[in-house]
A = this chain, B = another copy of it.
Amino acid sequence: MHSVRTAVVGASGYSGQELLHYLARHPVFRLTLVTSRQQAGEPLSKHVQGLPREVGALTFVDAAPDAKLAEAADLFFLALPHGAAAPYAVALRKAGKTVIDLSADFRTSDPAIYQEFYGHPHPAQDLLAQAVYGLPELHRERLKTAQLVASPGCFPTSIILPLAPFLRQHLLAPGSISITSLSGVSGAGRKLELRLLFGEVNDNMYAYGAPKHRHLGEIEQELSLAAGEKITVTFVPHLVPMHRGMLSTITTTLLEPKSEAELQTILEQAYADEPFVEIVPAPAFPEAREVAHSNRIRIGLRVDARTNRLILFSAIDNLGKGAASQAIQAANVACGLPEQAGL
């Protein structure tokens, strides 16, 4: 199979570095360009260890969003901060290139929702119609022809996959969903902020971003899509003292009582053919460590018969299925490759 010339735009953050690790070993995607403003002019091997020698020898470049950049590759992963990705997507799509955007810029199809959660008008509304939400387990068919993929956030991934099968079957009381998510610190990015210092994070934990975290827009968009009606949820993210990992615990009321066995069967059937979804039977619970450095999500459930609630549990690697490896999974679909290639 021919190789695909591949670029990573913005590779100095944690998601960008994780992408490099996956791409360096991908059987088809071949790195031809890696950009980073801070590290421009330096070899990849100075900042990222463990890459094959020829990949480590590549030099970071600082590249503007223009036609010249577009010539350097045919497949572009954008690992830029929210807001910074849109101009790159515009330039690259204009040149006909395939774009996998790991930022939030194209995740909400309704520009009004973008404005509500990000506080300013969407910077590239013309592209929204062609963007496909990059969750292959839900949107595989549309991804097969996508040229602009909006790769999902880590919180949404860990929340949408457990809930979707039950929403599709209308088993849940619509207003009853309450979500607690625990995130490793890498989810906050590789930024110079006091709160991200080891001395502030170690031996500490706290909730943040409630009640209206920026990811809520895409969470409710996808849940509503699955349910066929507007779903509104309560979502409380937490920071916990670990680098990578994400755990979501979701409580929701069952419209009619069901047994754990029945509900587990629904999950198992929904994801029977999915290579990256694992259903964890009781008495075990999904653990963050079990999915570290992987593209897998593990999902478990319990029924609280005393309150008629279904409790869902999920674990992902926020840098893997929550970011880098999920982007590659979607790119595999978009490029017609085996979905597990390089994963």
Write the residues of chain A forming the contact surface with B, with a CB cutoff of 8 angstroms: 14, 49-50, 175, 178, 180, 182, 185-186, 190, 192-194, 196-208, 210-212, 232-234, 236, 238, 240-245, 247, 249, 251, 285-294, 296, 298, 302-307, 309, 311, 313, 315
A22 to chain B minimum Cβ distance, whole angstroms, is 13
Q: Which of B200, B203, B290 contacts A49 (CB 8 A)?
A: B290
Tell me, in angstroms, the Cα distance from A58 to B309 when the chains sit together.
36
The reply to whether A243 and B208 form a contact with Cβ atoms under 8 Å apart is no
A280 to chain B minimum Cβ distance, whole angstroms, is 10
29 contacts between A and B (CB under 8 A): A49-B290, A178-B178, A178-B309, A180-B236, A182-B238, A185-B199, A192-B194, A196-B198, A197-B198, A198-B198, A202-B202, A203-B292, A204-B288, A205-B242, A205-B245, A206-B285, A206-B288, A210-B302, A210-B304, A211-B306, A234-B251, A234-B304, A234-B307, A234-B309, A236-B249, A236-B251, A238-B249, A240-B240, A240-B241
For the complex of A and B, list the 9 residue pairs with the smallest distance between their C-beta atoms, beginning with the closest: A211-B304, A49-B290, A204-B289, A198-B201, A180-B180, A206-B287, A178-B251, A192-B192, A198-B198
A238 to chain B minimum Cβ distance, whole angstroms, is 7
The reply to whether B311 and A211 form a contact with Cβ atoms under 8 Å apart is yes
Chain B neighbourhood of A315, CB < 8 A: 206
Number of copies: 4
The reply to whether B211 and A185 form a contact with Cβ atoms under 8 Å apart is no
The reply to whether B204 and A245 form a contact with Cβ atoms under 8 Å apart is yes
A249 to chain B minimum Cβ distance, whole angstroms, is 5
A49 to chain B minimum Cβ distance, whole angstroms, is 4
The reply to whether B206 and A203 form a contact with Cβ atoms under 8 Å apart is no
The reply to whether B302 and A243 form a contact with Cβ atoms under 8 Å apart is no
Q: A203-B292, A234-B311, A236-B251 are in contact. Are A285 and B197 (CB under 8 A)?
A: no
The reply to whether A241 and B311 form a contact with Cβ atoms under 8 Å apart is no
Chain B neighbourhood of A289, CB < 8 A: 49, 200, 203-204
Chain B neighbourhood of A286, CB < 8 A: 206-207
Closest chain B residue to A209 by CB distance? B285
Q: A203-B288, A247-B238 are in contact. Are A307 and B233 (CB under 8 A)?
A: yes
Chain B neighbourhood of A298, CB < 8 A: 49
Chain B neighbourhood of A49, CB < 8 A: 289-291, 296, 298
A185 to chain B minimum Cβ distance, whole angstroms, is 5
A116 to chain B minimum Cβ distance, whole angstroms, is 11
